[in-house]
Every structure is written in structure tokens, then in C-alpha cells.
Amino acid sequence: MNKTKWPARSVLPVAVPGVKYIILAILVTGMSFYFGWMVSAWVAAVLGVFVCWFFRDPERTVPEGSSNLVSPADGKVIIADRLATSEYLDGPCQKVSIFMNVFNVHVNRNPFDGVVEKVEYTPGKFINASFDKASIHNERNALTIRTPGGKRFVVVQIAGLVARRIVNHAAAGHRVIRGDRYGMIQFGSRLDLYLPMDFQVQVRKGDKTLAGTTIIGRMPDTP
């Protein structure tokens, strides 16, 4: 896992962690053309375009409404269910999982206002993130957040089959703002949300989501 300073607003059209890869791609492409290695040059150029596209970081309009919890990731809802127990919250809870494929924007955003109470990084495997067992076996980073109304929820970044690098900027004690960027998972993965039982889920399995824009549901007891 890597911690990277993350601006509230994007200074560049690409995510901060991607800048070094883009610079490397430009250098390799330039050197290949300079020395006349044309095949290598064009391959490097194509890869460079892909890297720029993968690390794109568009601005998003966060919907109004203090009780609205927004999606932490672009992707597709693969789980929207109730659990009798979980490793992150005491007692029963609700779980919403969002799978990100390689074509999605991979910048993660804070789902709701609050204070980070705990950060738990767990090393693990790199099983296909669309499988249920990825939630418990894969490398992951979990943030437990307490809302202004006293509710607790957890958002978990989970590495996948191709994703091998979790970037997280949040730390215990940080105050987070709904819709702001806090990290990313490089090259495909998933985000799990563990929510209170009285949370009003508004998405279903198969729904498409946009980070910071799609409303996952409403948080009860919002001041």
C-alpha cells in the first residue's frame, strides 16, 4: 500500500500516482524514436496513451443532500445484501460491493462526511476481485469512518487479479469530506462498503456507479 498526498481538486487531468508512469512512458518513447527503434517506439507510445487514459481523473459534481452517501468508485454493483456479521462492524450490517474493471476511472472518493477512526491494511492474495472470496483473501485497506451523526461505516479498497497497488491518503484522525478524492487502486479491483442496518440502500446488483456522483443510499440520523 502507498500513501500519496492527494489534492482536493485535480491540478492535472490525471491522478497524482500516475504521473511517474506517464513520465516514464514519455522517456522510453522519446529514447526509442531517438535511437531508431521504431517498433519499440510505437509500442511505448501506445502504452503511454493507455497509461494516460487509465489514470484520468475527471472532476465530479457531488449531489446535494447531507444524508446522501455517494459511491466511492466507478464500476458496477456486484453485491447489495445484508450480512449477519462482518470483520469490520459489530453485529449485522449491509454490504454494497462495486467492481471496477480496467476501463473504469480508478480514483476513489470519500462516500460521506466524517472522521477516520481506524485504518486497517491487510496483505493478501490477488484473486479476481469479482469473486466473493476476494473480500476476505485479497490485499485490502479498510477505513472505519464515524459520521457527524455518530454512525459508523467502513469502505474497503480491495486489490484484484491485475491490481497490485493500493493507494490511500486517509489516516486515523483525518476529517474526510464526501466526494473528495482519497486514493485509488491501480489497474482494476473493487470497493466494499459496510453500512449500518438502518442505512437506506438505493442501488441494486447490476447498477452502474460513478465515484462521487451516484447516490448509494441515505444515512440515517444525519444532523
Grid cell digits, residue 24? 516514464
Percent of the chain with pLDDT over 70: 84
For 169-217, write each residue's pLDDT tens digit: 899 999 999 999 998 887 668 899 999 999 999 999 999 999 999 999 9
For 22-72, write each residue's pLDDT tens digit: 888 888 888 888 888 888 889 888 888 888 887 888 889 999 999 999 999
**pTM, full prediction:** 0.83
pLDDT at 19: 77
Return d(Cα 113, Cα 148) in angstroms, integer. 7
CB 119 within 8 A of CB 171: yes
**DSSP designation for 13:** S
For 69-105, write each residue's pLDDT tens digit: 999 999 999 999 999 888 899 899 999 999 998 889 8
pLDDT at 134: 61
Confidence band (pLDDT; 50, 70, 90) for 126?
low
The full set of domains in the chain, from first to last, is 1-59 (no CATH), 68-218 (2.70.70.10)
CB 160 within 8 A of CB 129: yes
Which positions are catalytic?
189
Q: Going by DSSP bridges, is the β-strand pair 152-159/140-146 parallel, antiparallel, or unpaired?
A: antiparallel
pLDDT at 217: 96
Non-local CB neighbours of 153 within 8 Å, separated by 6+ positions: 69, 89, 111, 112, 144, 145, 147, 193, 194, 195, 196, 199, 219
pLDDT at 54: 79
